[in-house]
Structure 1
Amino acid sequence: MNKKDIIEALTSVLSTKTEAKNATEKIFSAMQSALRSGEKVIISGFGSWSIKLIRAKKMINPKTKKIMLIDPKKKVKFKPAKNLLV
């Protein structure tokens, strides 16, 4: 299921496809803002999203055999709700 499919599903509940698209955009925008500010996003019965910090690490370049430093980065982590898993 992708964003377009979600909009189509919401169209059956809302009046127009435009309303469904706007609602979907607002939901995703709110989730993105919350994650960027370090908040955890929880949808009860579905799961939660959070930011995980991947620390810096050293790796060996396979071609040059030299040690490289990989910068730290942030990743979005999703944890499904227990009842979501079948």
Structure 2
Amino acid sequence: MSLLDYFKTKKKPSTAATAKERLQIIVAHQRGERDAPDYFPQMKQEIIEVIRKYVKVGADQVSVQLDQNDDNLSVLELNVTLPEQS
């Protein structure tokens, strides 16, 4: 790698490519919610409330997803971004 290669302009992704990627994420998220049971939104809210009893986290710091396979197997995935302790 030469020194001149460092100064060459780097190509940014196009606006259309960025929009397409974001749309794919939204569609994948909505597909996951569509197959969820009727009680899932309430259960998700209750899980967040229980976590908030013990740790100060915002709703955007907690992610709850339900993955269902064809083998009648359901996996509840919970991701919590915990605050740093000082």
TM over 0.5: no
Larger Rg: 2
Greater fraction helix: 2
Greater fraction strand: 1
TM norm structure 1: 0.34
